[in-house]
Amino acid sequence: MHVAGGQDVWALSIQRSEARGPFEEEEIGRLPAMSRRIASAVAVGSALGFARAEAALAAFDISNKAVVILNRQGEAVLLNRAAERLLCDDLHICRKHLTCRDATAKRTLEAAIHAVCTSEPGGDLLHPIRIARQNGAPIIAFVTPARGVALDVLSPCQAFVILVDPMKRRIPPPEVLQKLFPLTPTEAKLAHRLAAGHKLHDLAAKSGFSYETGRNHLKNIFAKLGVNCQSDLIAALVSIAAPLDIF
């Protein structure tokens, strides 16, 4: 018996012992109604699976993590804005599948996705993969089962591919810095931009104050945060932001 469930077609084998003989006409006549009921159950399960996946995607958005959600065929069914920003010639979606320009990374990614999508729901597989980029540092991809989303084989979403750009610094916004430290609004904005990699000279010019004034602001920031140099400032602010990245 074939059961349609969304875009999928499921084959259900119904057998009985040889001693009981073949199915009777009346029993065969019940199959269409049974097929419709099972198809409805599959459709409801699929809708609930997508609802769980969309909720997971929202959580990844809150933590600013890039994620691509895959179905059991390894096809990309959902991705968030952070993931869209990382897609490029080196890492892209082709014919619904996430793939890489680099042949070695492509094979490794395909093998990891296959392993995760064919594993038991709720497994603990985790596959980190280095994906080289022509311009910039490599992207690190983590392929892992969609825990909390893939509850059974009927779930349309089976795996997460979490993408990490090692060069992207997560810095707490100025408003958070003001709550944590006795910084003025100007100092909080300056600390945030310096930690993001901007130069003090450029920031002073854009903000309309002299370089010397900027240096005085910087000394105040160092004193209030208990650090001695800009590299220590960056390390401190990145460590503060780390808990915000936990999903």
What are the residue ranges spanned by the domains of the chain?
Answer: 63-164, 174-245
Model pLDDT, residue 44: 45
What six digits make up the tokens of 177?
């810095």
Angle (deg, nearest 10), helices 185-195 and 230-241? 90
Cβ-in-10-Å burial (0-12, 13-18, 19+) of 113 comes to buried
The yes-or-no verdict on residue 185 having pLDDT over 90 is yes
Domain 174-245 in the same topology as domain 63-164: no
Please report, for the chain, how many H helices and E strands are present, in that order. 9, 9
Q: Which residues pair with 164 in a beta bridge?
A: 140
What architecture does CATH give domain 174-245? Orthogonal Bundle (1.10)
Calculate Rg over the CA atoms of the chain: 26
Q: How confident is the model at residue 198 (pLDDT cuts 50, 70, 90)?
A: confident
Straight-line distance from the first to the last Cα atom of the chain, in angstroms, rounded to the nearest whole number: 41
From residue 204, give the alpha-carbon distance in Å to each of 43, 101, 196, 219, 232.
59, 41, 15, 14, 21
The amino acid at 42: V
- Residue 151's CB is within 10 A of a number of other CB atoms, namely 15
Q: Tens of pLDDT along 80-137? A: 888 998 999 999 999 999 999 999 999 999 999 998 888 765 555 677 899 999 887 8
DSSP state at residue 138: P
CATH 3.30.450 fits 63-164, yes or no: yes
CB proximity list for 75: less than 8 A, separation 6 or greater = 96, 97
Q: Which of 165, 5, 21 is CA-nearest to residue 84?
A: 165
Predicted TM-score (pTM) above 0.85: no
